Amino acid sequence: VILTGAGISAESGLATFRSADGLWNNHRVEDVATIEAFAHNPDYVHDFYNQMRPELFAAKPNPAHLAITKLQKNYTSPINIITQNVDTLHEKAGNQNVWHIHGQINQIVCLNCGHIFETWGDISDEDECPQCNIAGMLKPNIVFFGENLLYMDKVDKLLQKCDLFISVGTSGIVYPAAGFVQIAKFSGADTIELNMEQTSNNYFFDRHIVGPAGTTLPQLIDEILISE
């Protein structure tokens, strides 16, 4: 299992969440990525994601994403990617078995009928659902703080039978994703963390590889494939 966070997309030019000023794309996360913020001011939150969509649409995968495709093509056991990222760089790199536990920027969900559809365009509070035609109930299919994660039953199964857990570019702050390494460890997996620094989760990682993922992940994957 490979768990990825915003750090794997940093070398593709996308902002991470916990940059120095604590802001994210010049906004406080609490103002744009909580279910309360969305309920209170849906247009403000729609605008935030509408502005982000073109940048993520244009973003290109970097060597870290591409190395995962190489691993999936050459490794005998199945490799699953659990990503906290809402960008589609794993898919653009040709990665398979990608699970977006925090949702995706190019998906919209209707809170009236549950229909999920794809778009890279703008969404507003007036738009109608293409399935039930009710207006004003569309939300980015992104898991806000206070919402349950997606695919958690699949994630639980993957972590229970995981024998190698690699965490790439996540600060280990946001739960429950930050607790996945613990479940993998207790299931007997070897655990490796790739980050620019050691994170707060260091107790559960057997190995820390410090450096940019665009360099460290291809190197680790070559090491794994040679020992295959």
Catalytic residue IDs? 102
Residue 141 binds ligand BV8, judged by CB under 6 A: no
Residues 81-110 that bind ligand BV8 (CB under 6 A): 84-86, 102
Closest CB to ligand BV8 among residues 62, 80: 62
Q: Give, in degrees to the nearest 5, the angle at Cα 96 between 58 and 178.
A: 85
Contact yes or no for 156/106 (Cβ under 8 A): no
Cis before 176? omega within 30? yes
Phi and psi at 138, nearest 5°, equal -90, 140
First to last CA, the chain: 16
Radius of gyration of the chain (CA): 18
* Type of residue found at 10: A
Q: Mark the segment that binds ligand BV8 (CB under 6 A) among 65-73, 89-97, 151-159, 194-202.
A: 194-202
Q: How far is the CB of 133 from ligand BV8 (least distance, A)?
A: 27
Q: Which of 2, 33, 37, 45 binds ligand BV8 (CB under 6 A)?
A: 33
Closest CB to ligand BV8 among residues 101, 189: 101
Contact residues for ligand BV8 (CB under 6 A)?
A: 5-7, 10-11, 16-18, 33, 84-86, 102, 142-149, 169-171, 173-176, 194-197, 199, 212-213
